Amino acid sequence: MRVFTAVVTIAILCSGCIGTTGFYGKTMDSKPVGAFELFDDNGDRFNLSMIDSDVIMVGFIHTSCLDECDDLTRSMNETYALLSSQEQQRVSLLTITTDPWHDNSNRLHHYKKNNSVEWPHLTVSNINTELTMIESVWASFGTSVEVSANQTQSLARCSIHLMNYTVTQTVHVILVDSDRNVRVQWLESEWNSENVAADIRKLTSE
């Protein structure tokens, strides 16, 4: 297998924050998410125009990540459960992989089942032709992704796939408003489900 050494790094801390505006999470510069087309865990094409919700909660994980990524997925699900049925109708959830070399649609499908969640999990169908596309998606959401070579091969979690690289990423969720602008960042390490739910309610009330 080739060793992937590409690095995509986007500054998301100081340059991405503009101070307190009533959100519990980190307020980001309001910038539009670029148009993109990826593939969901069923292998079907997916783009943001297919979502008509007022707010989208977009998480970034990879399936061979340690507990941090599973924790983020569970936290997203927990936060959604805190919303009333009327509020849930105005919110959509979405997950995008940061390891498209390994996370194909089938693997993401099993990841969803293992974590008992239902929302779309996105990847590419052809890493050779669509890597630039998903890199641009990471960038538009302010997600840092670094791929480094391992000294020795190791088995990916829940897989017989031998990996000779490691993915290091920003494990976070971005809240996107009805105009499809990025607005609020929540790191997994700082997650508070009640406060994330409050931020979602604030966005839906704008």
Instruction: For residues 38 and 22, give the distance between their C-alpha atoms in angstroms, rounded to a whole number.
Output: 33
* 72-113 tens-digit pLDDT: 999 999 999 999 999 999 999 999 999 999 999 999 999 999
Class of domain 7-204 as given by CATH = alpha beta
3-state helix, strand, coil in the chain (%, to 5): 30, 30, 40
- pLDDT recorded at residue 25: 98
- pLDDT recorded at residue 177: 97
Enter the pTM of the model: 0.85
* 55-68 tens-digit pLDDT: 999 999 999 887 89
CA nearest to 33, candidates 183, 206, 197? 183
Residues 156-185: what's their mean pLDDT? 84
Each domain of the chain, given as residue ranges in start order, spans 7-204
What ranges make up the beta strands (E) of the chain? Answer: 7-8, 26-32, 38-39, 45-46, 55-61, 91-97, 121-122, 145-155, 162-169, 172-176, 181-187
